Structure 1
Amino acid sequence: MATDPLPAAEQLPVTIDDVRAAHIRIASSIVRTPTFVSKTLSQLTGATVYLKFENLQFTAAYKERGALNTLMQLDSETKGVIAASAGNHAQGLAYHAHRLGIPATIVMPTNTPTVKVTQTEGHHANVVLYGETFDAAYAHARELEGERGYTFVHPFDDVRVIAGQGTVAIEMLEDVPEIDTLITPIGGGGLISGMAVVARAVSEKAGGRPIEVIGVEAELFPSMYNRINGTNMPCAGDTLAEGIAVKEPGVITSGMVRQLVDDIVLVSERSLEEAVSLLLQIEKTVVEGAGAAGLAALLQHPERFRGKTVGIILCGGNIDTRLLANVLLRDLARSGRLARLRIRLQDQPGALFNVARIFDQQRVNIIEIYHQRVFTTLPAKGLITDIECETRDRAHLDRLMVALTEAGYEASPVELA
């Protein structure tokens, strides 16, 4: 990647002039989100970390930029726009289409969560539920496009969308010119393609310096990684980063990534969970899994970025509250602040009281207790008790385990995946 001779500006389907024009076009109608340094994340990772808070857009995602740039270039006679999306593209397109007085239809799979349907309808779009997969919804949207004369707005494989997404990089590099590395999530490739155009232009201008562009994909959906590197890793599974869970990247974007992007790294679900949790705890900001992918890369591959001045795009904040709660609780468990201990007891009076006394002595808070007498491999008089508890940190939990062992109890933690 990015090893061939630099392409001339006119050979790229999107140029820096396209991105600059897009920025002028949309600037008054989107939020110029701030780019702040994170001292704590910088200390944790060994890089100087700047965060671009695109989760502060009105619909909580950068997708507004590309959608709006496309809408503002449509013919005034358009009958309306249509898209297939169950995510941020749907809301960004619906919101700005309504604001501009353009009818919008969004086709979503029938299994789309109700909250996403409701949010999109809240932006006055006509939502059509069709098919059980995105591919089915996409095919139906293209059918309706032809039948009704609508204009289809692709979520990523459109030069107008790519130029709009690239405006993120214009703002970042204006605000923090010293950034030398951009870490950008990849789904279909629209965002990183636009970002890379800007980075290349800055690198090539007189007195400019190289800016590395690094893409990030979830390990479960390495579609662009496969396309660029000729690999055939599976793209499937339940990833926290559903916003970048794309099985087939774009044609236009794949070509641009091949020419302009320096590397693509993959991140685990555990790293994504840790990144979401850290951003809430440290930066007090809610970010969805895809939006946290850049930080996840920094956490999982610290040696790759140590000493660099890194720009990370928090590209979206639309995460289900119940899912967010699960992520936070799992992070507490991994850090030792929340634990479930499986303890073998004798089924006799006072057994639970005696073990609870040890928790009290160690100043460990018991949250819940689960008894199991029947579904166990122990003898009839055996008893398994799971105790969910709260500790200060891993060392505090370790002291509790030592105390239980010294008191003669057989105890073991119930580990997370």
Structure 2
Amino acid sequence: MPEHFHLNTPLLESTSMSKLVGTSVYLKMESSQPSGSFKIRGIGHLCQQVARQSKGVVCSSGGNAGMAAAYVARKMGLPATIVIPSSSPPLVVQRLQDQGATVKIAGKVWDDANAEALRLTETEGLTYVPPFDHPLLWEGHASVITEVAACLGPSVKPGAVLVSVGGGGLLCGVVQGLKQVGWADVPIVAMETVGADCFNAALKAGKVVTLDDITSEAKCLGAKTVCRKAFEYSQSSDVTIISELVTDQQAFHAVQTFLDEERVLVEMACGAALAAIYSGVIRRLQDEGRLPAPLGPLLVIVCGGSSINMEQLTNLRHKLYT
């Protein structure tokens, strides 16, 4: 049994992005995880704790949590059932099946798929693997920051961390990781797309709210309700979280630019965090006095994503620009 299932991913410096913001930009390349995204950190950690004696695991997912659960289950020799919404591309179904998972399609959005996964937990006696709302997931995701701290060494501290928010699991892990390494005062810029903005909506309402629908094409950010812990962190005085939105077009533009400049293809969900740099959000936050100028090095969590290929990219371009 491996100690953990995730890799210590590369930390790369991007010269082109650094030039845009006038400070060093470090990319934590979670896109190179074996399951294609950061999700394997938390899901691997959770499965090791709760699934060893299991009959099998069930996970509801727009794609990436499912990929991580399927990969980990295969490595642990457990059957995996992944329940995905009908909005997931065929590519996701194929990749999950390639990992040996049984795929079930239920409902239109993640919340529908999740209801079915919980039903299977009851009826089939499977171990439920939540995609974002569990303390063991956050504990696993925190390792992304401890690796960065070990890599940068004690003399370098980020000026801010840029992260995409879907259900809020990665955000919770980043907060915990920053606290663990003594960087609790480093601000987090939490990026979402308009139409998949459950975290931003909660901050505006002053409480956790549920979106009526997911209208963004960044389907992997598509939770209608953010996890309560992420909202609690946003309200606490010892953490600075700045919530920002970009359009689907800005996230897509970021994906394309990142592919051109860094030669890595990521999902639009990941494009939301990249758009903080490419669409000038960081510059604006500095102008508004919400981030310091000059700014220390920026750390971007390149969360990755397995639901993207060139065909998907072409389809998205067509949807967003015609």
TM-score (norm 1): 0.67
Is there any run of 5+ residues in structure 2 with no aligned partner, and where?
Answer: 287-292
Q: Which amino acid is 1:190 matched to?
A: G
Preserved CA contact (<8 Å) 1:156 1:188: yes
Q: Which amino acid is 1:107 matched to?
A: V
Instruction: Evaluate the alpha carbon distance shift between residue 135 and residue 102 of structure 1 in structure 2; reply closer, same or farther with a 3 A threshold.
Output: same
Q: Which amino acid is 2:137 matched to?
A: V
The alignment status of 1:304 with 2:285, answered yes or no, reads: yes
Deviation at 1:307, TM superposition (A): 3.2
Preserved CA contact (<8 Å) 1:196 1:261: no
Q: How many Å separate the matches in 1 of 2:14 and 2:102?
A: 40
Q: Which residue of 2 aligns with 1:394?
A: none
Preserved CA contact (<8 Å) 1:157 1:188: yes
Which protein has greater RCO, CA pairs closer than 8 Å, 6+ apart?
A: 2
Q: More displaced, 146-155 or 219-228?
A: 219-228
Alignment equivalent of 2:314, drawn from 325, 335, 338: 325
Is there any run of 5+ residues in structure 1 with no aligned partner, and where?
Answer: 1-23, 332-415
Preserved CA contact (<8 Å) 2:210 2:225: no
Alignment equivalent of 1:316, drawn from 280, 291, 304: 304
Q: Which residue of 1 aligns with 2:21?
A: 45
Alignment equivalent of 2:84, drawn from 108, 116, 134: 108
Preserved CA contact (<8 Å) 2:163 2:190: yes
Q: How many Å separate the matches in 2 of 1:77 and 1:209?
A: 37
Q: Which residue of 2 aligns with 1:282?
A: 261
Q: Which amino acid is 1:274 matched to?
A: H
Deviation at 1:48, TM superposition (A): 2.0
Alignment equivalent of 2:198, drawn from 223, 234, 245: 223
The alignment status of 1:248 with 2:235, answered yes or no, reads: no
Question: Secondary structure of the residue that 1:191 maps to in structure 2?
Answer: helix
Instruction: Evaluate the alpha carbon distance shift between residue 133 and residue 277 of structure 1 in structure 2; reply closer, same or farther with a 3 A threshold.
Output: closer
Instruction: Evaluate the alpha carbon distance shift between residue 136 and residue 269 of structure 1 in structure 2; reply closer, same or farther with a 3 A threshold.
Output: closer
Q: Which amino acid is 1:272 matched to?
A: A
Question: Secondary structure of the residue that 1:43 maps to in structure 2?
Answer: helix
Question: Secondary structure of the residue that 1:239 maps to in structure 2?
Answer: coil
The alignment status of 1:139 with 2:115, answered yes or no, reads: yes
Preserved CA contact (<8 Å) 1:276 1:286: yes
Deviation at 1:241, TM superposition (A): 2.1
Q: Which amino acid is 1:315 matched to?
A: C
Q: More displaced, 81-90 or 251-260?
A: 251-260
Instruction: Evaluate the alpha carbon distance shift between residue 330 and residue 236 of structure 1 in structure 2; reply closer, same or farther with a 3 A threshold.
Output: closer
Instruction: Evaluate the alpha carbon distance shift between residue 56 and residue 102 of structure 1 in structure 2; reply closer, same or farther with a 3 A threshold.
Output: same
Question: Secondary structure of the residue that 1:73 maps to in structure 2?
Answer: helix
Deviation at 1:133, TM superposition (A): 3.6
Preserved CA contact (<8 Å) 1:222 1:235: no
Q: How many Å separate the matches in 2 of 1:317 and 1:189?
A: 16
Question: Secondary structure of the residue that 2:189 maps to in structure 1?
Answer: strand
Question: Secondary structure of the residue that 2:199 maps to in structure 1?
Answer: helix
Q: How many Å separate the matches in 1 of 2:20 and 2:318?
A: 21
Cα RMSD (Å): 2.5
**Alpha-carbon displacement from aligned partner over 1:388-414 (angstroms, at most 9, x marks no partner):** xxxxxxxxxxxxxxxxxxxxxxxxxxx
Q: More displaced, 222-231 or 191-200?
A: 222-231
The alignment status of 1:159 with 2:140, answered yes or no, reads: no
Question: Secondary structure of the residue that 1:184 maps to in structure 2?
Answer: strand
Q: How many Å separate the matches in 1 of 2:185 and 2:220?
A: 29
Preserved CA contact (<8 Å) 1:275 1:296: yes
Q: Which amino acid is 2:102 matched to?
A: N
Q: How many Å separate the matches in 1 of 2:110 and 2:76?
A: 27
Q: Which amino acid is 2:30 matched to?
A: E
Q: How many Å separate the matches in 1 of 2:177 and 2:16?
A: 28
Deviation at 1:277, TM superposition (A): 1.2
Q: What does 1:363-402 correspond to in 2, within 5 Å? A: none
Q: Percent identity?
A: 27
Q: Which amino acid is 2:227 matched to?
A: G
The alignment status of 1:31 with 2:10, answered yes or no, reads: no
Deviation at 1:239, TM superposition (A): 2.5
Deviation at 1:184, TM superposition (A): 0.8
Alignment equivalent of 2:167, drawn from 188, 195, 199: 188
Deviation at 1:249, TM superposition (A): 0.9
Q: Which amino acid is 1:264 matched to?
A: S
Deviation at 1:102, TM superposition (A): 1.8
Deviation at 1:180, TM superposition (A): 2.2
Instruction: Evaluate the alpha carbon distance shift between residue 25 and residue 256 of structure 1 in structure 2; reply closer, same or farther with a 3 A threshold.
Output: farther
Q: Which residue of 1 aligns with 2:274?
A: 295
Deviation at 1:261, TM superposition (A): 4.2
Q: More displaced, 36-45 or 296-305?
A: 296-305
TM-score (norm 2): 0.86
Q: How many Å separate the matches in 1 of 2:82 and 2:240?
A: 31
Q: Which residue of 1 aligns with 2:289?
A: none
Q: Which amino acid is 2:59 matched to?
A: A
Instruction: Evaluate the alpha carbon distance shift between residue 240 and residue 113 of structure 1 in structure 2; reply closer, same or farther with a 3 A threshold.
Output: closer
Question: Secondary structure of the residue that 1:312 maps to in structure 2?
Answer: strand
Question: Secondary structure of the residue that 2:49 maps to in structure 1?
Answer: coil
Q: How many Å separate the matches in 2 of 1:183 and 1:221?
A: 17
**Alpha-carbon displacement from aligned partner over 1:220-248 (angstroms, at most 9, x marks no partner):** 22211121231789664542422112211
Question: Secondary structure of the residue that 2:104 maps to in structure 1?
Answer: strand
Q: Which residue of 2 aligns with 1:373?
A: none
Preserved CA contact (<8 Å) 1:49 1:312: yes
Q: Which residue of 1 aligns with 2:70?
A: 94
